[in-house]
Amino acid sequence: MRIGRYLDHAVLKPEFTQEEAKAGIQMGIDYHAKTVCVRPCDIELAKQMCEGTETQVSCVLDFPHGAAGLEAKAALAEIYAKTGVVEIDMVMNFGLAKSGEWGRVAQEIKAVTDSAHKYGVGVKVIFETSQLTRDEIRKGTEVCVECGADFVKTSTGFLGCGATEESVKTMIETAAGRIKVKPSGGMSDYETAKAFVDMGADRLGVGVAFTPAICEGEKRALGGEG
Rounded-to-integer distance, Cα 170 and Cα 14, Å: 30
Task: Give the chain's mean pLDDT.
Answer: 97
- Positions annotated as catalytic residues are 89, 153, 182
Residue 224 has pLDDT above 80, yes or no: no
pTM over 0.75: yes
Provide the CATH number for the domain formed by 3-221 in this structure: 3.20.20.70
Q: What is the pLDDT of residues 142-175, one digit of tens each?
A: 999 999 999 999 999 999 999 999 999 999 999 9
* Residue 174: predicted pLDDT: 98
Question: Where exactly are the structural domains of the chain?
Answer: 3-221
3-state secondary structure the chain: CCHHHHEEEEECCCCCCHHHHHHHHHHHHHCCCCEEEECHHHHHHHHHHHCCCCCEEEEEECCCCCCCCHHHHHHHHHHHHHCCCCEEEEECCHHHHHCCCHHHHHHHHHHHHHHHHCCCCEEEEECCHHHCCHHHHHHHHHHHHHHCCCEEECCCCCCCCCCCHHHHHHHHHHHCCCCEEECECCCCCHHHHHHHHHHCCCCEEEECCCHHHHHHHHHHHCCCCC
Closest CA to 39 of 53, 52, 21: 21
Residue 226 has pLDDT above 80, yes or no: no
Q: For 174-186, what is the mean pLDDT?
A: 97
* Residue 225: predicted pLDDT: 55
Residue 79 has pLDDT above 60, yes or no: yes
Rounded-to-integer distance, Cα 81 and Cα 94, Å: 23
Q: What's the CA dihedral at 46, 52, 53, 59 to 10 degrees?
A: 30
C-alpha gyration radius of the chain? 16
What is the Cβ-side half-sphere exposure of residue 89, based on CA atoms within 13 angstroms?
35
